[in-house]
Amino acid sequence: MSDMKVCIVGAGAIGGFIGARLAASGVSTSVLARRDTLQALQTHGWRLHTEQGLIQAATEASDRAESLGHQDLVIIALKGQVLPELVASLKPLIGPNTLILPTMNGVPWWFCQSVSGFSPEPLRSVDPQGLIAEVLPQQQVIGVVVHASCLCPEPGVVRHVMGNGLIIGEPGGGHSERVHHVASMLAGAGFSVTESTDIRRDIWYKLWGNLTMNPVSAMTGATTEAILSDELVKTFCSDVMREAALIGARIGCVIDQEPDDRHAITLKLGAFKTSMLQDAEAGRALELDAIVSVVAEIATRLQIDAPNLRALLGLSRLFASSHGLYSRAGQ
């Protein structure tokens, strides 16, 4: 049993997946949630459906961070576009020694803060006012990549679909005792945990595939298998990925594969619906800023020409805006 006091911020699919397993393993968990999800958690606790059966565990649930107080670890499982609006309300959770684990898709707010030669100005695509960096300082962050797929069929209920992997590491690279301690706690809850010495590269590698598959699937309604079966679309995705690989190399995130190598991995998933396609079908806002806009912003700051990336951003943003699925983060 871990001696850490852990709060999950956002009890959707991934938040519920991690929270339920931690609580079931004996970790002291609380959760910051709202509306129907809050009520469900207060009534039933965590509920996670897995192949092995239902995992159910009690948790302290509130919609006020003040009632939960300082935590040892805060796991942020919000959508990227929501965090700028809510981050100020998280201040009561964050003490001087609180660790922050953002399990969010795409490029996080802290990603370029320590990159040599890169402007220290916040990435405005994901942190428009710079408030996230102020409330959630990089020195308290542990980077993470989630390799799992879960669904949230109703408030407070999560169904695990596939994957069980978590990669965690220091934003600045290398080993640390605090990463090892968090990794041990997560492993004790049943996760397959890898301690990375280069978490930025791991984040960028996952993004490298999601950057194209997510928005293209949302716009077309096609599965990843269908996308990669169309040679014209596959070629376009590959061209975007080559541009992203060039951008990554300039910020210390080298990709040592070709697009076709990554496509082969994606094809193993079969007729897979990306999370962004699922959001589009459900009428939920799309995470374009943390996955596409921010990459274009980094390219602009580095003065890298990326015409295919910009075309993808323009098309996906127009699609999402015209369907009521996009608004600028923090606005």
Burial of 36 (0-12, 13-18, 19+ CB in 10 A): exposed
Residue 76 DSSP one-character state:
E
In 3-state terms, what secondary structure has residue 30?
A: strand
CB of 159 within 8 A of CB of 20?
Answer: no
Pairwise CA distance, residues 318 & 325, whole Å: 10
Pairwise CA distance, residues 73 & 75, whole Å: 6
Query: Which residues are the active-site residues?
Result: 206
Give the other-Cβ count within 10 Å of 96's Cβ.
7
- DSSP-H helix ranges across the chain: 13-24, 35-44, 83-86, 131-135, 177-188, 199-220, 224-229, 231-250, 259-267, 275-282, 288, 294-302, 307-322
Using the Cα atoms of residue 91, residue 130, residue 205 and residue 49 in order, give the sign of their dihedral: positive
What is the C-alpha end-to-end distance of the chain, expressed in Å?
Answer: 42
